[in-house]
Amino acid sequence: MVGEEKMVLRNRVTKTSEIPEKDEDQRNLTKESLETYRNGRLDIKQLIAKKRQLTAEAEELKPLFLKEVGSHFDDFVTNLIEKSASLDNGGYALTTFSILEEMKNNHRAKDLRAPPEQGKIFISRRSLLDELFEVDHIRTIYHMFIALLIIFILSTSVVDYLDEGRLVPEFNLMSYAFGKFSTVIWTWWLMFLSTLSIPYFLFQHWAKGYSKSSHRFISTLIHGFIFIVFQLGILGFVPTYIALTYSLPPASRFVVILEQIRMVMKAHSFVRENVPRVLNAAKEKSSTVPIPTVNQYLYFLFAPTLIYRDSYPRTPTVRWGYVAMQFIQVFGCLFYVYYIFERLCAPLFRNIKQEPFSARVLVLCVFNSILPGVLILFLSFFAFLHCWLNAFAEMLRFGDRMFYKDWWNSTSYSNYYRTWNVVVHDWLYYYAYKDLLWFFSKKFKSAAMLAVFALSAIVHEYALAVCLSYFYPVLFVLFMFFGMAFNFIVNDSRKRPIWNIMMWASLFLGHGVILCFYSQEWYARQHCPLKNPTFLDYVRPRSWTCRYVF
């Protein structure tokens, strides 16, 4: 009671002391207002000037404030998601004490390598462009591309009417590029059924007999050899043989080869993720063998990811209108690319082929190819990494839609490689880079990175060589030498906007070089065919020596 009375008295004293201060503040305000009123227009102009100055300063601070808050908020949310998703990782909670205990044990046993990390964590999230398109300013860029497509259609129609007297487009180039599509369909079914059956039942047979076998190493070696034969000999050779034997056109070959590479990567991920689970179950002498069901493997074969999991985050419903819109945009991008080739590429190379090969022709070709090359880059990204993958994700209710990140904001090539195609990057990171570090040693990080670059460059060049029917390693040189050098020189320490400009300039120039060189070689082989070509003729550039005959 005595304490409460003291508190009441203190509150009264503070209140009475605050009253004179408030009175003084009110007097000062009225005095300032009177002075302002007495001075008239002069004080009003000063107030307006001060207000404008404060507004200008606020506008200058606003983007910096939003950028700072946005970066901190993104980092906070990302760290929060990773921490919350890793709380139940492997059946136990990851606490500070468990991590310290693990580090302590690793320090005691330096000769034992730590296993690779648990892998990618899938969470429900939307694609970045879906979120950005809700902003009117960003969606206007999308509208600009649609307007450009309309201009291409109109220009092609006008030229066809003036030159040939017809208004209905024939789409000869597209019908040729996707010719013999029935062969593509039955080839895809062969690849799909073999990928569905052979890796799954081969793994199931090995997993069921591994714990009971007295010769585990020999059994694992035999099953592993059969799997490698399937990957390289059946899935790796047969589709390529069909594409070359049946003389499929370029776009049809492109579909077959991309599906071949995708299924090879899917089968590897399925085996790579499930073999350690069987080994751990046998080590712990568990009575149950962790073998995924056929439905889980079948879902993975169609899911827009190359990392196998027994289950993924799922959305509650399927928005069929969204699926239809994504497929419409894919077909729209195909016609867009057709009109780019029709209006920008064909006239360019039709004129170039009339001149002999020289440095002047090459330089003009590269710079004239930059615009169509960049447009094809944007359309390929939007059609496949956004529309196509989101369509399948929506149909399968696949929750994690981070197929790419904001690669357009990259200030370094290392960040660009990580964010351009997250689906393929995850596979290379976990199954190539991380496994190489685990198998050899963490000291060989540069060698592991070089191996990953070499693998990616070889696969890209293999796809182009099969699709175009000739070997011209322009992409391999750009990817392996310039791309590798830029990865180390223009690294993550570069944060200034000038490096983003440099990255875009090099991307523009690189795609101009790719489109120019491969198109020149294509036209040279069309107009300078050989009667009995040898193997060296498929490797030797024809555009350097061809002289066109008209």
Active site residue 460: yes
Residue 38: the pLDDT is 45
Nearest-CA neighbor of 151 among 383, 339, 373?
339
Question: Where does the pLDDT of residue 490 fall: very low under 50, low under 70, confident under 90, or very high at 90 and above?
Answer: low
In angstroms, the CA 347 to CA 525 distance is 18
User: Could you read off the pLDDT of 497-519 as tens digits, one per residue?
Assistant: 888 898 899 899 999 999 988 88
Cα–Cα distances in Å, from 550 out to 345, 353, 477, 527, 547? 20, 10, 33, 9, 10
Instruction: Give, as one character, the DSSP assignment of residue 315.
Output: -
What is the average pLDDT value for the chain, to the nearest integer?
Answer: 78
User: Could you read off the pLDDT of 28-55 as tens digits, one per residue?
Assistant: 544 444 444 444 444 666 766 676 677 6
pTM value is 0.75
User: Could you read off the pLDDT of 329-388 as tens digits, one per residue?
Assistant: 999 999 888 888 888 888 777 765 556 667 777 888 889 889 999 999 999 999 999 999
Of these residues, 386, 460, 511, 527, which one is catalytic? Answer: 460
Residue 45: the pLDDT is 65
The tally of CA atoms less than 13 A away on the side-chain side of residue 157 is 8
DSSP 92-153: S---HHHHHHHHHHHHH-TTSPPPPP-------B--HHHHHTTSHHHHHHHHHHHHHHHHHH
